[in-house]
Amino acid sequence: MRLLTLSVAAAALAGTAIAARAQAPADDPYIWLEEVSSPKAMDWVNAHNAKAQAVLEADPRYPQYYNEALALAQAKDRIPFGRFLHGQVYNFWQDADHVRGIFRRTSLAGYEAASPAWETVLDLDALAAAEKANWVYKGASCARPAERRCLISLSDGGEDAVTVREFDLVTGKFVDGGFVLPKGKQRVGWEDENTLLISREWTPGELGRTGYPYIVKRLKRGQPLSAAVEVYRGGAQDGGYGVTPYVLRDGENRTVSVVVRPIDTFNSETYVLTPKGPQRVAIPAKSELSDMVAGRVIVHNREDWTVAGRTFPAGSVVALDLAQLKADPAHLKPTLVYAPTAREALQSVSASKGVLLVDILDNVRGRTLLYKPATGGTWTRSVLKLPDNASVGIVDASNDDDKALISVTSFLTPPSLWLADAGTAEARQIKAQPAKFDASNLVAEQFEATSSDGTRVPYFLVHRRDMPLNGNNPTLLYAYGGFESSMTPAYSSTTGKLWLEKGGVYALANIRGGGEFGPKWHEAGLGAKRQIIYDDFAAVAKDMIARKVTSPRRLGIRGGSNGGLLMGVQFTQHPELWNAVIIDVPLLDMMRISKIAAGASWEGEYGSVDKDPAIRAFWEKTSPYHALRKDGRYPEPFIFTTTKDDRVGPQHARKFAARMEEFGLPFLYYENTEGGHAAGANLKQAAHTNALEMVYLTRKLMD
Q: Which CATH architecture has domain 284-435?
A: 7 Propeller (2.130)
- Give the integer Cα–Cα distance in Å for 242 and 234: 9
Residues annotated as catalytic (active site), given as ranges: 561, 677
pLDDT 10s digits, 437-450: 999 999 999 999 99
pLDDT 10s digits, 493-542: 999 999 999 999 999 999 999 999 999 999 999 999 999 999 999 999 99
- Give the integer Cα–Cα distance in Å for 91 and 96: 16
Percent of the chain with pLDDT over 90: 91
pLDDT 10s digits, 455-505: 999 999 999 999 999 999 999 999 999 999 999 999 999 999 999 999 999
User: How is the chain split into domains, by residue range?
Assistant: 39-70+441-702, 284-435
pLDDT 10s digits, 371-419: 999 988 899 999 999 998 899 999 999 999 999 999 999 999 999 999 9
pLDDT value of residue 3: 26
- Give the integer Cα–Cα distance in Å for 498 and 645: 26
pLDDT 10s digits, 629-642: 999 999 999 999 99
pLDDT value of residue 8: 28
> Which pLDDT band, with edges at 50, 70 and 90, does 682 fall under?
confident
pTM for the full predicted model: 0.89
Is the peptide bond between 145 and the residue preceding it cis, with omega within 30 degrees of 0? yes
CA quadruple 563, 565, 568, 570: dihedral positive or negative? negative
Q: Is the domain 39-70+441-702 a CATH 3.40.50.1220 member?
A: no
pLDDT 10s digits, 302-326: 999 999 899 999 999 999 999 999 9
Tell me the one-letter amino acid at 38. S
**178-to-150, 165, 225, 230, 306 alpha-carbon distances in Å:** 10, 8, 12, 20, 46
pLDDT value of residue 674: 72
List b or e across 243-278, with b for residues whose CB sees 16 or more CB atoms inside 10 angstroms: bbbbbbbbbeebbbbbbbbbbbbbbbbbbbbeeeeb
Nearest to 451 by CA among 534, 366, 568, 374: 534
Q: Walk across the sheet containing 98-106 and list its strands.
A: 83-85, 88-95, 98-106, 119-123
**Dihedrals phi, psi of 66, to nearest 5 degrees:** -65, -45
pLDDT 10s digits, 564-616: 999 999 999 999 999 999 999 999 999 999 999 999 999 999 999 999 999 99
Contact 300, 287 (CB under 8 A): yes
> Which pLDDT band, with edges at 50, 70 and 90, does 683 fall under?
confident
Sequence-distant (≥ 6) Cβ neighbours of residue 435 within 8 angstroms: 414
> Which pLDDT band, with edges at 50, 70 and 90, does 14 fall under?
very low
Q: Are strands 555-560 and 580-584 parallel, antiparallel or unpaired?
A: parallel
> Which pLDDT band, with edges at 50, 70 and 90, does 294 fall under?
very high
- Give the integer Cα–Cα distance in Å for 483 and 533: 12
Nearest to 648 by CA among 583, 561, 590: 561
Contact 150, 138 (CB under 8 A): no
> Which pLDDT band, with edges at 50, 70 and 90, does 19 fall under?
very low
pLDDT value of residue 25: 59
**Dihedrals phi, psi of 420, to nearest 5 degrees:** -110, 150
> Which pLDDT band, with edges at 50, 70 and 90, does 27 fall under?
confident
